[in-house]
Amino acid sequence: MKCFGYVFLFLVFTGYLPAQNAIRGIVVDESSQPLAYANVFIKETLEGTSSDEGGMFSFTSSASGAVTLSVMMLGYETHSQTLQLPASSSLTIRMRQINVSLGDVEIVASSYQLNGSSQWEKMNAVDLVTTGGSVGDLYKSIATLPGAQVNAESGKLFIRGGEGRETQTYIDNMHVLNPYTTTSENEPVRGRYSPFMFEGMNFSLGGYDPEYSQGLSGVLPLSTKDESPVNKYGVNVSSVGGGGGGTKAFARGSASINLDYQNLGPYYNVFPNRYHWINPYQQLSAGTQVRFEPTRKSLVKLYAGYDHTRFKQRTGGNYPFSLHENNYYLNTTWRNESGKGYNFFGGMAFSFRNQQVNGAMQADDKADLKEGEVHVKARMNKRFTSLFKLQAGVESMIRFFDTQYKQPSSAAEPGRAGNISHAVNALFATGSFYFSDKFNLALSSRAEYTTINKAWNYTPRLAFTYGLNDCYLSAIAGRYTQLTDNEYMVRQAGLPAESCQHYIIGGYHQKNNRVCRIEAYYKAYDKLTCIENGLPNASGDGYSKGIDAFFNDAGLIDNFEYRLSYSFNDSKRKYRDYPVKDTPQFASRHNLSFSVKYNLSALKSIAGITNRYASGRPWHNPAKEGFMNARTPHYNSLDISWTFLAAKKLIVFASASNVLGRKNVYNYTSSGIPMTTASWSFFFIGVFITLGGNTAYDVSNF
């Protein structure tokens, strides 16, 4: 804490503040009526403000010369114009209203569309990285939304009583097989991809579109930027490593590259944890993206990413455990709009992971895991009339999994091996009906054939939205399936897909930069994998039900925003080695998140504070009667962050998680030893420098 206090003082008092240019004006609609609470900002900087109740705005900028001024407001088209600084006169910004029909909104229930693709819930990359405790991680930021349950020892998204594996990630509509990094036990993972890559993030807590699959609980589709017209190059140095990269724009597209290296050895020298490290955690990552517009109505994008992870530590059994992993991801997509109103999409993605572990279960043993996927998809959509829109497509996910385990040379028994290869082939279609500008109905279905068990699955969905003034009521019912874990399919290839029926109803209200929504849901699980007599079968089932509430207010005070999320969950399931149906160990009944963000324009800073609370989780105490018969203590973490624009092309970012140092316990061993993370708190400080271009953030991430 003392160290972070010094960092705080450094951020406040050491910045060079260049000359300030005033920007002022008024935001009005097409009838010249003033618009309150519109977001006015210099594009690709942290500089901006909101219009007041009379539509007036005023702020200062350290930029000079040509800049892009952007104005955004719910229900209106985004306004952008080139501005020459210093500005000589007051501006009048005239906003055009969007003809918001429910065809544009689609289905509101259970979906948090973050920036880009929707007008409903905006959260850009700066919002994500400045959330207290996120340390720039996409998944940690999203986990503050309602429905997400605290699993800080994992770092993955656990939503509405579902496991982390039940939520799938997609990039540009293509599946990502391994979106998380690999760490040691009880150390939270991170997302492999920077938030700055994306301009659209659509977090679905259930009832999602049948275009996506293999997620019993939800999906996280991410959309990369369609264009990056600014040349920019930058480097960054932080307490855990460094990196650099940039973007080169050309006539019909751009090319980007990013390199990043992390080494936690120096950090552990200052803040040691409870692990005995031989070689601390290291990761080398590289990524590149190319965007190209062959014609005015077509776009081709290619993304390639690679990362190498390694570490070595001494385990509780007093023998070394080491891990080496290489992960590859390639994604290429094509979009085209025809003159007759047809929109076409095609894509291919390749995922591959090779993990080698020494000391996996005992000294001198070896485990080698390889898994991969080729995902191919084609899709078409067209609005045939003002009443009806159709989307249809076909896809295939071709997968393989191979695992080898070698006992020590002194062992009497030989090693073990297992491998599978299979495909998930599907047809999907959605028909959307727009009966009025207040009422939308969507009927959709997915027919899926899985080759490993030679079975068909049909997953229909019905969804509607009804609008009333500033409120929207929505409901969804649908069935979703997912193949079980590879480790069980290796042992029993004929296992049927696990299934989950979703029922969701909710209400949404938005006015004056305030958003309020509440949803109730019920999920019925079937054909869950159970282990009986050492063999897997599909006899498991369960349920998960609850209520999520969300309130976001950005209009109370200028430059101030707060967000409150609450989730209640009641879930039970019989699966894996559970002898009876009971609450799973990862599920907590109450989850509460409160986030505050304040833009201190005088200090060129954004301060973020987040507090997350979760009630105790069940665990099985063998010394007591019954199953899952005890509770862990409640979880609480107070996280803070500070983003400081020290100069036009220099940002300093600092973050600290669990600053109160609470000893959060996630589970207990059979002998009653608490299971915790290796460190109670984590501190981060990074300096991001733009070497070329006019950007203040986004310096090395596309």
Lowest mean pLDDT among 8-12, 117-121, 400-404, 603-607: 117-121
For the entire predicted model, the pTM comes to: 0.83
Beta strands in 16-86 (DSSP E): 21-28, 39-42, 48-50, 56-61, 65-72, 79-85
Task: Tell me the CA end-to-end span of the chain in Å, nearest whole number.
Answer: 34
Q: Each residue of 104-121: pLDDT tens digit?
A: 333 345 565 443 333 334
Structure tokens at 470: 């500033």
Q: Is 592 helix (H, G, I), strand (E, B) or coil?
A: strand
* Phi then psi dihedrals of residue 284, to 5 deg: -115, 125
Residue 374: the pLDDT is 98
In this structure, what DSSP letter does residue 616 have? P
Q: Which fold has domain 16-98?
A: Immunoglobulin-like (2.60.40)
Spatial contact of 683 and 239, defined as CB atoms under 8 Å apart: yes
Confidence tier at 8 by pLDDT (50, 70, 90): very low
d(CA 291, CA 297): 14
In this predicted structure, the answer to whether residue 7 has a pLDDT above a threshold of 70 is no
Asked if the bond preceding 86 is cis, omega within 30° of 0, the reply is: yes
What radius of gyration, in Å, describes the C-alpha atoms of the chain?
26
In this predicted structure, the answer to whether residue 597 has a pLDDT above a threshold of 80 is yes
Residue 102: the pLDDT is 28
Q: Each residue of 434-492: pLDDT tens digit?
A: 888 788 899 999 999 999 999 999 999 999 888 888 788 889 999 999 999 999 999 99
Q: Which amino acid is at 527?
A: K
d(CA 325, CA 403): 14
d(CA 223, CA 206): 19
Break the chain into its structural domains and give their ranges: 16-98, 103-692
- Residue of 214, 225, 256, 260 lying closest to 240 (CA atoms): 260
* Phi then psi dihedrals of residue 110, to 5 deg: 65, 15
Spatial contact of 548 and 207, defined as CB atoms under 8 Å apart: no
Q: Which amino acid is at 157?
A: L
Q: Which fold has domain 103-692?
A: Maltoporin; Chain A (2.40.170)
**Which whole number is the average pLDDT over 191-215?**
83
Residue 690: the pLDDT is 81
List, in sequence order, every residue forming a beta bridge with 353; answer none if it has no partner: 327, 371
d(CA 544, CA 694): 49
**Looking only at Cα atoms, what is the longest distance across the chain?**
86
Q: Which amino acid is at 39?
A: N
Q: Each residue of 534-579: pLDDT tens digit?
A: 899 999 999 999 999 999 888 888 888 898 999 999 999 999 999 9
Q: Alpha-carbon dihedral of residues 123, 125, 130, 135, nearest 10 degrees?
A: 120
Residue 611: the pLDDT is 94
* Residue 532 host element (H or E): strand 514-532
Q: Each residue of 20-58: pLDDT tens digit?
A: 788 999 999 877 888 887 888 887 666 778 788 788 998
Confidence tier at 191 by pLDDT (50, 70, 90): confident
**CA distances to 112, 118, 441, 467 from 103, in Å:** 17, 12, 9, 12
In this predicted structure, the answer to whether residue 303 has a pLDDT above a threshold of 90 is yes
**Which whole number is the average pLDDT over 249-274?**
90
Q: Which residues lie below 8 Å from residue 684, measured CB to CB, with a gap of 6+?
A: 135, 238, 239, 240, 653, 654, 655, 656
Residue 44: the pLDDT is 63
* Residue 5 host element (H or E): helix 2-13
In this predicted structure, the answer to whether residue 513 has a pLDDT above a threshold of 50 is yes
